[in-house]
């Protein structure tokens, strides 16, 4: 091995050893300290021109929106029902719940919730997950005000088009006007 290659190898090893020591010495918990990695806790969904954060623990899964059978005589936000994994699931239009104009009739996604009875939220798209750190408290000026738990700044450069922020929602409070009996979330 040439002296230059040997020096580069030693330098690389010293850098790796120093980084290993730094990581091993870190005592910060999740979300604490500079550079700490926080686990994702919110599912980001696009509705209209905004992003909303649903607690990740409330979501069972996501699937492309398929045909929805209408369910007459229900709350105006209930788009209908779908059949998923052997069960009938009520589909609730997230835009309607938030007081926004309805999204496109075709496309979109269904976010299936861990709930009993089974419920899915219809949204335009799922953008991803994030560790949302709240930067402000609840909302008082929108139709969804009781369900808004706060607003979060999103540091992902890909999400800057949405203003770099998301509105965080409480799923139980969001669905309370639709279902007269509270949902069993986390079921």
Q: What is the pLDDT of residue 140?
A: 47
Antiparallel, parallel or unpaired: β 184-185 and 50-55: unpaired
pLDDT at 175: 92
E runs forming strands in 35-173: 42-47, 50-55, 59-64, 78-84, 87-93, 109-113, 115-116, 119-123, 125-130, 133-136, 148-153, 165-169
Secondary structure element (H or E) that encloses residue 20, with its range? helix 3-25
User: CATH assignment of 42-185?
Assistant: 2.40.50.180
Domain boundaries, the chain: 1-37, 42-185
Structure token pair of residue 59: 């979501």
pLDDT tens per residue, range 22-70: 666 655 554 455 555 567 788 999 998 889 999 999 999 999 999 999 9
Average pLDDT of adjacent 10-residue blocks, the chain of 187 residues: 69 73 59 58 89 92 93 92 92 92 80 93 91 62 71 70 80 89 73
Q: Which pTM does this prediction carry? A: 0.73
């Amino acid at each position: 091995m040439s002296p230059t290659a040997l020096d580069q190898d030693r330098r690389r090893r010293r850098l790796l050893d120093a980084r290993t020591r730094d990581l091993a010495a870190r005592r910060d918990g999740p979300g604490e300290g500079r550079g700490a990695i926080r686990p994702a806790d919110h599912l980001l969904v696009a509705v209209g021109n905004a992003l909303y954060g649903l607690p990740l623990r409330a979501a069972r899964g996501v699937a492309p929106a398929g045909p929805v059978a209408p369910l007459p005589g229900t709350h105006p936000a209930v788009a209908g029902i779908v059949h998923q994994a052997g069960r009938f699931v009520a589909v609730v239009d997230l835009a309607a719940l938030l007081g926004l104009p309805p999204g496109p009739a075709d496309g979109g996604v269904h976010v299936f919730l861990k709930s009993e009875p089974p419920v899915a939220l219809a949204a335009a798209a799922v953008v991803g997950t994030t560790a949302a750190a709240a930067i402000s408290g609840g909302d008082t000026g929108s139709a969804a005000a009781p369900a808004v738990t706060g607003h979060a700044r999103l540091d992902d450069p890909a999400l800057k088009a949405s203003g770099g922020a998301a509105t965080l929602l409480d799923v139980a409070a969001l669905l309370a006007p639709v279902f007269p009996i509270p949902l069993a979330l986390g079921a």
